[in-house]
Structure formats: structure tokens, C-alpha cells
Amino acid sequence: MTWFTSALLVVLVLGGAARAEPSEAERAARWADLKHAIFGDRVVEDAGDRVVIDAPMRAEDAALVPVGIRVAQTLAPEVRGLYLVIDNNPSPLAAHFLLGPIADPSEIATRVRIDDYTYLHAVAETADGRLYATARFIKAAGGCSAPASKDQALALERLGKMKVNFAERTKPDQPVKAKLLISHPNNSGLQMDQVTRNYIPADFMQRLDVTYNGQSVFRLESDVSISEDPTFHFSIRPADPATPGVVKAEILDSSQRHFSQSWPVPAAAQM
Amino acid sequence: MKISGILAAVGLVLATVSTHAENLALPITEIAAGIFVHNGVQGEASAANEDGIANIGFIVGADAVAVIDPGGSFAEGTALRAAIRAHTDRPIRYVILTHVHPDHIFGAAAFRDDHPDFVGHAKLPGTLAQRGDYYLRRLRSALGDEAAGSEVVPPTLLVSDRLDLDLGGRHLSLQAHGPAHTDNDLTIFDENTRTIWLADLLFVDRIPAIDGSIVGWLKELDEVSGIPAERAVPGHGPISVPWPAAAEPERRYLEAVARQTRAAIKAGIGIADAWRHVANSERGRWLLFDDYHPRNVTAAYKELEWE
């Protein structure tokens, strides 16, 4: 068992209690517990405005809430890891991004499930092991047990398929901005089949590796809090902008399936 | 004398029961010979309306009755059954579930003792399995005690393409559609009166809710527009509308959402903000616009970003 899954188990035991709306003190206590479960006795500093969470105040679809983490340029070059914690989710550690040296951590975004009104915490980890945390409250509920799938035949047919949209660049030395779309149900294991009375088995992306010309952009360790058919926005600063680039994504899911796909990065448009 | 006295007493009891049933019966209108529709309220599910927000009803043949959508709760299903019994004592042979949504299916348990075939789209069992539990919990939280008795009733007769049902001198043609409003939409055509019961493939006045495929919905809307029907029964809105003229506002809305969502994706506008940029000309033309439009654009975005 990795430290990641053991941290999750601790949290699952702590969680799952009453449904009554928690007080601010209870919310703070929950974050203190989570922080300890994930980071142990390490000091977690307040990020101030150096780390910001982008998320809607109120989610239109709690099973599909876009969340971005922005890191200020003053801190970005030192950042090697980003954690996204959804305090009141059954499995709160939603994502841990391990960033490679060519990743531009100033902006990274995905879509998550949110089970109840909750604080989101983002924690940036620097190369020398410092931790900077920020929080944001979000109003959304029901996202973990609500199945989002609208067309199940299509979902099965498309399982494991990926797509990348690259933002246009006008100069070769601009960062490569990409949006990766992944077709995967990310079943949470929290949906009950009312006819058989069995829970639909959890089936989710455990690991996503994104590379650029063989170098790591990021590795994501993830969980059931990531949405069905998730997207990932990220940005790359190629070491050698003159060389044509290839972005590759590889997935390992909880059913031990592997998926991988790669895409050439379009050349910068000549102005 | 004695026997007639008993009969009189029985008659009195029956009359009482029947009056009681009529009191509980759902208000219903015969929109064409033998086609009865109850007009759902234009609102969200609540204890006060017993989740009676959809148009539901029944069709009567010479031999049997087919229910089309048993309603949004056991309470509403019971009242629909009482309305049927106030009109006819013919057996209720079919309970057609037009799609998975709670306001259409949770009355099904009220018809169990009639032992009908519960008819649904071939994809209904899978979607019910995924969502039934969630829908039931949500119904209980919205309705409280009024949700009592409401259950998920799985279909017993599945339609993967077409199915004809014979009610005695009356044929109903059921069509299973591709993903549109949901991925399990069924429509019913009554040849005798040339009535197409579209359920939630057609929203009138109330904003359409996209829970299947916006591209598919526009395609299915084109197909059903070619059906030579005199009238349609929408799932929400008036209980009878001229066909195919009544499809136009829905088509206009869906086309605007599809076109402008594609433009938002192309412009790099994120999924959370896209609805602010999409189909603003439709605001004020639909009931519950602000409750559903942002969700519709979110759903359309998620579908269209894969194009």
C-alpha cells in the first residue's frame, strides 16, 4: 500500500459521519485532520495569493465541476507538486500532480465530483519540500453518487480514447498550452444498482502520465473524485523550442487497463 | 328482498368507493377519442405537487388500457389509476415508461397489482440501474412523506427499435429513439387518432432539459417531425399541440445552444462560463430558463468538445 492509499483510508475512516451542515470550526478541524493524514507533521504555510483556486461559486453539475490551480510566477519555478483536496468528499485527496521540470505550473485545471458543500484546498509543494496551501468554498452537492453519463453506449465505445486541443502559438518559444480530454467513466463505486441492490464497481483512473518528447510534464495520482470523461489543462515550456514536439498521455486505471496516445504539437503559426 | 337489500348495500358501498376514487382521481382531459392526458404543473418537484410536473395519461382500446407514464410518485400513480377506473374497468395491460426521469416513472408501483407489462426502451434498465437509487433519494428529500410507496420498477418488456401494441381495435406503434432527451426515449403513435405522444422529446413553454445528446436530439426531432400526426402530446407544456408546428421553439433553442456552444469551445471559453455566452436570445422565452439553461450548456459543452 502506498502512502497515497493509506492516507485515503485514514480519511475514509474519519469521514462518513453526520450530514448536518458543519460549522466553520468543524470544517477547520476536518482540514486539520486531512492535512495531518496527507502531510503528517510537516508545516503547511498559508500561500497567500501565490496559489489560487479557480472554481465556480456554485456548480451547475456537481459531477462535473471545473477546478483550476494557479501558481504565481514568483513561486512557479520552485513548484514540483500540486495537491487538490476536496474536504467533504468521501475520498478527499482528489489529485496529486507531480510536475516535471518542463511543466509550467502557473496554471493546471481539471474537473471533479463534489459530494457536498465543501472547502477545496490546493497545496503547492516546492523542490525543497515546503508546502503552501490555499482554500476556497464551493456550493455543490450530490456529485459523487450522481452518475453523469448521458449516453452509456457511447461511454463504453469511447472508453480510454483521448483527444488533445492545443492553443495556437504565434512564436516557437511560447509555452505549449494544451487541453487533454479523456473518455473514462471514473465510476466512484458509490452508485447503487437499485434493481440488483449491488453497488456499481469503482472503475477509475489511478495514474496519468503526460510526457513531452519523452520528458515528464506531470504524473497525476488520482481517484474517484475526478469526473467522468475528465479534462486536463496544462502548459509546457519545452527545453528546446526548435525541436518538433510530441505529447504523449498514458493511463493506468483501477481495472489495470492501460491506454496511451500521442499527438504532434502543431508548429507556431508564422506571423 | 333480502338479496336486493344486500345488493343495494353493495351498490351503496361501490358508489361510496367510486366517489372516493373520483375525489382522489387526477384531473384528466380526453384530447382525442380514447386518449386521456393529465396536465403536469410547470414547476419543480415538491410535496405539494407530488412530483406531478409531467404530462401523463392513458389510452383506452376495446380490450385494454395502456398507461403512458405512471407519474412522478406513488401518490400521483395512485391518482392516475383512480382516474382510469373512473372512465373504464378494462384491464390495464401496459404501463409504458417513456424514459428514466423521476417525474415520469415513480408512479409505476401503483400499477403493480394490475400485473401489466412495464414497457421501456432497451437502454432503460441500464440507466435505471445507474440512476434509480439516486433519483429515489432525491425524490424522498424533495417530497418527504409524499414520496411514500414510490419505487424503481424495472421494465418487463423492452423495445430496441419498434413495437406494436394491440389494445383491441387500436394499435399503438412504439418507437425507441437514439440518444436525444435521454439515451432511453420512447414515443408512441396512435394510428386511430393520428396522435404522436412524444413525452420529453418535446418541451413546450418549459425549457428543454438536455440529458442525452444535443446532436442526437436535433436528429430525432427531424425524424419525428416527418410523422404524419395531427397533434402531439409534449412531456411538458399544453397537453395537445399541433404537429409538427409545435416543435419549432424547441428546435430553435437546441440549434442556438449547439451552434453557440461550439463557438464558445472554439474561442477557448471554459465549461463553467460558457452558458453566459450561449443562447442569451432565448432568455425570457422559456419557463425555468435560469434553472436549466446553465446545466444544458454544460451538458452540450461536454458532448461537443469531443467533435
Q: In chain B, which among 127-166 make CB contacts under 8 A with chain A?
A: 127-134, 136, 138, 152, 154
Q: Identify from B302, B303, B304, B307 which residue to disrupt to test chain A contact, counting A C-beta atoms within 10 A and taking the largest count.
A: B302
For the CA atoms of A85, A86, A90, A93, the dihedral, rounded to the nearest 10 degrees, stands at: -10
- Residue B242: which of B229, B234, B227, B231 has the closest Cα? B231
Report the pLDDT value the prediction gives residue B24, as an integer from 0 to 100: 83
Report the pLDDT value the prediction gives residue A152, as an integer from 0 to 100: 75
With cell 459523487, the residue in question is A144
CA distance B156 to B163: 14
Residue A209, CA atoms < 13 Å, CB-side half-sphere = 11
Considering only CB atoms, A153 lies closest to which of B133, B183, B298, namely B183
CA distance B153 to A212: 51
| pTM attached to this predicted model | 0.86
**Taking CB atoms and an 8 Å limit, are B129 and A64 in contact across chains?**
no
- Residue B176: which of B235, B224, B135 has the closest Cα? B224
Quick check: A111 contacting B, CB < 8 Å? yes
For the CA atoms of B140, A61, B68, B172, the dihedral, rounded to the nearest 10 degrees, stands at: -160
A163 vs B contacts (CB less than 8 Å): 306
B195, B285 Cβ separation under 8 angstroms: no
- % helix / strand / coil in chain B, to the nearest 5? 40, 20, 35
Q: Which residues of chain A have a pLDDT value below 50?
A: 1-19, 271
Kindly tell me the sign of the dihedral angle through the C-alpha atoms of A227, B219, B45, B70: negative
DSSP A226: B
CA distance B68 to B107: 11
CA distance B267 to B278: 12
What interhelical angle do A24-39 and A3-14 show, nearest 10?
Answer: 160
Residue A82, classed as helix, strand or coil, is strand
The predicted-structure confidence for B78-112, as pLDDT tens digits, reads as follows 999 999 999 999 999 999 999 999 999 999 999 99
The partner residues of A93 in beta bridges, in order of sequence, read A85
CA distance A113 to A94: 9
- Residue A45: which of A37, A55, A35, A33 has the closest Cα? A35
What is the tally of helices (H) and strands (E) in chain B?
Answer: 7, 13
ipTM of the complex: 0.80
CA B307 to chain centre: 30
**Closest chain A CA to residue B135:** A146
**Taking CB atoms and an 8 Å limit, are B298 and A60 in contact across chains?**
yes
Report the pLDDT value the prediction gives residue A148, as an integer from 0 to 100: 57
With cell 464551493, the residue in question is A138
B277-285 long-range contacts, CB within 8 A, separation 24+? B279/B253, B281/B256, B282/B207, B282/B252, B282/B253, B282/B256, B285/B249, B285/B253
Q: Identify from A60, A182, A186 which residue to disrupt to test chain B contact, counting B C-beta atoms within 10 A and taking the largest count.
A: A60
CA distance B92 to B81: 9
Report the pLDDT value the prediction gives residue B264, as an integer from 0 to 100: 96
Q: Strands, DSSP E only, in chain B?
A: 29-32, 35-38, 56-60, 65-68, 92-96, 117-121, 157-159, 162-166, 171-176, 186-190, 195-203, 231-236, 241-242
B67, B111 Cβ separation under 8 angstroms: yes
The predicted-structure confidence for A174-230, as pLDDT tens digits, reads as follows 899 999 999 998 887 777 776 677 777 888 999 999 999 999 999 999 988 999 999
Q: How far is B302 from chain A (nearest CA, A)?
A: 8
Q: Which residues of chain B have a pLDDT value below 50?
A: 1-22
H-helix or E-strand containing B84? Answer: helix B74-87
CA distance B194 to B196: 7
Q: Cell triple for residue A35?
A: 492535512
H-helix or E-strand containing B152? Answer: none
Query: Do the bridges between strand A205-212 and strand A79-86 make them parallel or antiparallel, or are there none, so unpaired?
Result: unpaired
- Residue B154: which of B181, B179, B191, B126 has the closest Cα? B126
